[in-house]
Amino acid sequence: MPALDAEGRRREVRALLDAYVRVRTPEEAARSVAAGPQHLVPLLLEAAQSVSQERHWDLVHAEGGRIRRLTGAATHPLECET
């Protein structure tokens, strides 16, 4: 994925992450962005959000909250609502 992202192929990266979020555990998905977290974490979170609030929350808290620490994401889905 980092190679696709580097080539500016955001649509393809998003499609892959969307599929990955649906079929892998939140922990596996969180580890998948280690090579390029600055660009891939936001895309991964978007993909998780498109699946469900629960999947988004699970991903944010996967791997000991690694994604949450990288992004400063809310700790609970309801905290995202205003």
What is the sign, positive or negative, of the torsion defined by CA atoms of 18, 20, 22, 27?
negative
When pLDDT is cut at 50, 70 and 90, the band that residue 16 belongs to is: confident
User: Is the predicted pLDDT of residue 54 greater than 80, yes or no?
Assistant: yes
Q: What share of the chain is helix, strand, coil (3-state, %, to 5)?
A: 75, 0, 25
The count of structural domains within the chain is 1
- Is the full-model pTM beyond 0.85? no
CB of 2 closer than 8 Å to CB of 40 = yes
Q: Residue 48: what pLDDT?
A: 92
Residues 58, 76: Cα–Cα separation, whole Å = 9
Percent of all residues in the chain with a pLDDT value above 90, rounded to a whole number: 24
Q: Residue 61: what pLDDT?
A: 87
Domain limits for position 66: 2-80
Residue 81 CB burial class (10 angstroms; 0-12, 13-18, ≥19)? exposed
